[in-house]
Structure 1
Amino acid sequence: MKNRSVLISGAGIGGPTLAYWLQRYGFDVTVVERAAGPRTGGHAVDIRGTAREVAERTGIVPAVRAAHTGARGMAFVDEDNKRVATLGTDVFGDSGGPVAELPVLRTDLARILYEATRDDVEYLFGDTVVAAEQNDVGIQVRFESGAARRFDLLVGADGVRSTVRGLVFGPDEKYLRDLGCYVSLFSTTTTLAHDGWQLMHTMPAGGGRPGRTAAVYPRAEPGTALAGFFLRSAPLRYDRRDVDEQKRIVARAFEGDGWEVPHLLATIGDASDFYFDRVVQVEVDGWSRGRTVLLGDAGYCASPMSGIGTSLALVGAYVLAGELAAAAGDHRQAYAAYELRMREFVDRAHEFARRSGDNGLMPDSRAQIRMRNLSIRLLPYLPRTLVGRGMERVANAVKLPDYTALAHR
């Protein structure tokens, strides 16, 4: 086999999944991650459609089920916490709708994948790639720590603002499609009895303020939740390294709002896993350059609000590893086959995310909120063939080859 040594940048979802399969196929794998350890924070994610099959083949389904958030659906509520519209998982099936059958915190999924690979894969935490020079025989990488190493292949699985993509493909501006809003997430406490329901409180635009939604997402531990804030806004200027400034942006945007918002904002200062970012899609024309290839959000993020990103990363990792094994390490052949198999899935996911827009979370008027709620209340009475099929079709848009015969063990 040629090109046996592989460096993966990013220890989120796609990176460790790729590492799991590559080491099974006989590759020597190193994963570098800027964080000091497995990532914490982030939102709840869903494993949908074909990605469920990847999870089963990877052997992580029992652990995923054990880490189930307990979510049973989504409920929109008014200021008094009265439910005005509900979306249960039973309405859409196991892979459709805003909450699917296998919801898990991104933190927990990343931990599960790390634990499945840490004995066979080299992890370099607290470091990142700062330079990469590739030629016909390999790729020379320099790390922020000052270390330099040579690898045969480099994979950028390091998120929407991928360092690897920036080094090899060019600046972010070439690849990010702005979707016009921001999302913020952090762990919090709550006295709301949500009983497995994600609670959403929407406020329409007015008084010079845009439409916006605050949310609490259930966690397994009683009295805790994941807070979410969704805000339509023109691009804001702020220091991406200044978390306190980002917290102030969220607090100002939702100041004076009712429901559970005052309590959530009161806890934001102590949040150690705070996340705030612009909602974008990543569109790259060709996911490889020489010996470097992109995976997951780094190459084809659909949208942090799409509900399909984790599935794209899981399936993409499985396919990329399988094609590298099938091509005996020939990266040119493997990268082309990977993109050919994944492109329709990615294109459908992007189209679905754009068509879904903000899913009624940032309305311009109260009339739009009433129409959204009415539409949701009608869903259980519609034929199942008409409900949730869009997401299910996207989630099952790729057929998985069976590469397992290529595994060394």
Structure 2
Amino acid sequence: MTKRSGTSGKLANKTVLISGASIAGPALALWLHRYGFTPTVVERAPELRPGGYKVDLRGVSIDVCERMGILDDVRRASTDMRGGSYVDNAGATIAEMPADFFGGRVDGDDEVMRGDLARILHERTRDDIEYIFGDSIATLTEDADGVDVTFEQGEPRRFDLVVGADGLHSHTRRLAFGDEKQFKRHLGAYISIFTAPNDLDLDRWETYHALPNKLVCAYSSGGESTAKNMFVFGAPELSYDYRDMAQQKKILDDVFTGDGWEIPKMLDNAAAADDFYFDSISLIEMDSWSKGRIVLLGDAAHCASPASGQGTGLALIGAYILAGELAAANGDHSVAYERYESLMRPGVEVNQKFAEGFAKEMTVSSKGKIRLRMALVRMLPYMPWKNLIAKKITEDVQKAAFAVPVKDHKEYSVYEG
């Protein structure tokens, strides 16, 4: 890209601190830099976080990836999943379904591993953006002209604006808005995922095993020699330290010890995993996503839970809209934050409602209900109305994927190309 001269005007608030280097933070940094701002990204982890689960990019988020110039990279990193199957306790296949039926995908949609998307965004921004790894915000003190920030490790600094893009358990949100309990709504289940050996020799395939109030899955995506193991289980809200991996692994072990199929081996994989992820399936619901010069983005503002399949897409879309509105308002945060929220909130509410419904479907309460569901899945390919069912699933998914409209902000870019 070549820089334009004199097209951006004088920005009212140019320096922006972004907390979080997963998806939303680097995406926002990319757009802010493109519009002439000076973003800095701080991340508690010592390096880019690996691992994570498959994330769907659909509808508007695909459009945003294309505008960012990363769509070709996303396509190359595609999971290229072929389908999935349900198996019984002995490992015998109960039913199979193609990948597009599992996810309601249509032409143009894609699916990548979260870690791959984070890498793509970091590679696109690391030469232009200041990244601070291994540190975190300690305090935020706002006045009429900016925000004084102290860090747990580094020297204090001053920024014009601060963005919390640090996930469900956002530390920025806690500092600016208060305790997480005010905003988090537990949907009745927990999820864990981690990298594991491909013990089932899976090739772009998902294998599910359902138990009462539990679901386990192993899958391997395109280009990967390893697999992912996933556990989901229903439970009321648990008390644990979300940074204590050993405690989380024990919770998982306590819940699934004694279960059959490949679960004992998968629990051993969990014990050995260094990219172990464990969290509640929850929503974040807030009356406002901004307070003064501080604003929240992605899961920090409106987590739609892993059940929605749209959290990553909403993070990319939100980053595009927030940066674009800041550019359109020439850096006036009070105007930009209000526009950003008014554009995002209706679509976020659609996706959160979608997540509520899907979260209930992830765990089935009894063996009888599991048998009934498996019978329906097994019969589905032979039902005359199977295409109508597939169409309905796709329509629901696409409604969520196109719930947030976006507009063009090209005129605010200080770069050509």
TM bucket (normalised to shorter chain) is over 0.9
Cα distance in 1, alignment partners of residues 86 and 406 from structure 2? 36
Q: Does 1:407 align with 2:410?
A: no
Please state how far the C-alpha of 1:96 moved relative to its aligned partner. 6.6
The equivalent residue for 1:54 is: 64
Cα distance in 1, alignment partners of residues 300 and 183 from structure 2? 10
The equivalent residue for 2:126 is: 118
The equivalent residue for 2:358 is: 356
Count the aligned residue pairs: 400
Residue of 55, 72, 75 corresponding to 1:65: 75
Cα distance in 1, alignment partners of residues 380 and 394 from structure 2? 13
The equivalent residue for 1:256 is: 258
CA displacement, residues 162-218 of structure 1 (integer Å, 9 cap, x when unaligned): 0110000111011000111111111101231332121111111xxxxxx10111121
Cα distance in 2, alignment partners of residues 95 and 18 from structure 1? 26
Q: Is the Cα–Cα contact under 8 Å of residues 49 and 95 in structure 1 kept in the other structure?
A: no
Q: Is the Cα–Cα contact under 8 Å of residues 93 and 101 in structure 1 kept in the other structure?
A: no
- Map 1:218-257 to 2 at 5 A: 218-221=220-223, 223-257=225-259
Q: Is the Cα–Cα contact under 8 Å of residues 47 and 95 in structure 1 kept in the other structure?
A: no
Matched to 1:342, the amino acid is M
Q: Does 1:389 align with 2:389?
A: no
Q: Is the Cα–Cα contact under 8 Å of residues 184 and 276 in structure 1 kept in the other structure?
A: yes
Q: Is the Cα–Cα contact under 8 Å of residues 348 and 404 in structure 2 kept in the other structure?
A: no
1:47–1:21 Cα change, 3 Å:
same
Please state how far the C-alpha of 1:127 moved relative to its aligned partner. 0.4
Please state how far the C-alpha of 1:135 moved relative to its aligned partner. 1.6
The equivalent residue for 2:181 is: 173
The equivalent residue for 2:332 is: 330
Structure 1 spans left out of the alignment, 5+ residues = 205-210
Matched to 2:111, the amino acid is P
Q: Is the Cα–Cα contact under 8 Å of residues 8 and 157 in structure 1 kept in the other structure?
A: yes
1:144–1:25 Cα change, 3 Å:
same
Q: Is the Cα–Cα contact under 8 Å of residues 62 and 109 in structure 2 kept in the other structure?
A: no
Q: Does 1:7 align with 2:17?
A: yes
Please state how far the C-alpha of 1:94 moved relative to its aligned partner. 6.7
Cα distance in 2, alignment partners of residues 271 and 35 from structure 1? 17
- Map 1:19-34 to 2 at 5 A: 19-34=29-44
Q: Is the Cα–Cα contact under 8 Å of residues 16 and 113 in structure 1 kept in the other structure?
A: yes
The equivalent residue for 1:372 is: 373
The equivalent residue for 1:135 is: 143
CA displacement, residues 208-243 of structure 1 (integer Å, 9 cap, x when unaligned): xxx101111213355511110001112233333331
Q: Is the Cα–Cα contact under 8 Å of residues 95 and 395 in structure 1 kept in the other structure?
A: no
Cα distance in 2, alignment partners of residues 232 and 30 from structure 1? 39
1:30–1:299 Cα change, 3 Å:
same
TM-score scaled by structure 2? 0.91
Please state how far the C-alpha of 1:2 moved relative to its aligned partner. 0.6
Matched to 2:403, the amino acid is A
Matched to 1:49, the amino acid is G
The equivalent residue for 2:296 is: 294
Matched to 1:254, the amino acid is F
CA displacement, residues 85-125 of structure 1 (integer Å, 9 cap, x when unaligned): 3342334787479xx94211111110100000001110000
Matched to 1:365, the amino acid is S
| Runs of at least 4 residues off by over 6 Å | none
Alignment RMSD (CA, Å): 1.9
Q: Is the Cα–Cα contact under 8 Å of residues 344 and 398 in structure 1 kept in the other structure?
A: yes
Please state how far the C-alpha of 1:146 moved relative to its aligned partner. 4.4
Q: Is the Cα–Cα contact under 8 Å of residues 46 and 134 in structure 2 kept in the other structure?
A: yes
Q: Is the Cα–Cα contact under 8 Å of residues 4 and 27 in structure 1 kept in the other structure?
A: yes
Matched to 2:395, the amino acid is R
TM-score scaled by structure 1? 0.93
